[in-house]
Amino acid sequence: MPHVLLIEDDVSVRDGMELVLRRHGYDVGTAATGEEGLALLAGPAGAAADLAVLDLMLPGIDGFEVCRRLRAAGSTVPVIMLTARGDDGDIVRGLEAGADDYVVKPVTAPVLEARIRAALRRAEPVRSAGGEDHAGLVIDRAAITVAKRGAPIALPPTELRLLLELSASPARVFSREQLLRSVWDHDFLGDSRLVDAAVGRLRAKIEDVPARPRYVQTVRGFGYRFGPV
């Protein structure tokens, strides 16, 4: 039974989502503030959490800061952020802070549950034989680990899936739509912001100079490819 932590200050929204998720077979924990959510994720409940659903507009520490602190602490728990306004600026800020996906409130039960299922699938290990050394970036597909010059790199599931997908076919150019389908399972969405934000976060962790990427390269007008090429 997957454990989902729901961080939402609106009691009616929180209770409604909790009821829906429990009916779909999820174990649900709840928090009403960012501080409470961070405390839970830092304790035993956090170790058990398979995913967090995080409202951006929280009292005190908002959802942006919660997500930033989680990622800064090395947490790789998948995060789906909730935004009430659907504002592009909020969505981009949330994705840049480390969220894996987003939904706009009010959200229907089927949409929320579909996004959670997709995020949990991304978190499942995908193993294949052999390790690969890409000019100092070592990707071990059997152990599902990434290291650079001998130093391990912790990647959240979405960024790891993205790296595995790109590096499986070096020099091949992937469109954003192809990556949305293969990594996010979002053939129904077509939202390139998810891809661009994840690429930016991945580059910050694996590139020497993120502004001049060696591994995850942009092919203008087409998408991304994995190098060095």
3-state secondary structure 6-59: EECCCHHHHHHHHHHHHHCCCEEEEECCHHHHHHHHHCHHHHHCCEEEEECCCC
Q: Does residue 19 have a pLDDT over 70?
A: yes
Q: What is the mean pLDDT of the chain?
A: 89
pLDDT value at position 223? 96
Distances (CA, A) of 108 to 32, 50, 114: 21, 21, 10
pLDDT per residue as tens digits for the range 101-151: 999 888 888 889 999 999 998 888 666 666 788 888 999 988 889 999 889
pTM above 0.75, yes or no: yes
pLDDT value at position 86? 65
pLDDT tier at 176, thresholds 50, 70, 90? very high
Kindly state the average pLDDT of the residues 184-201: 83
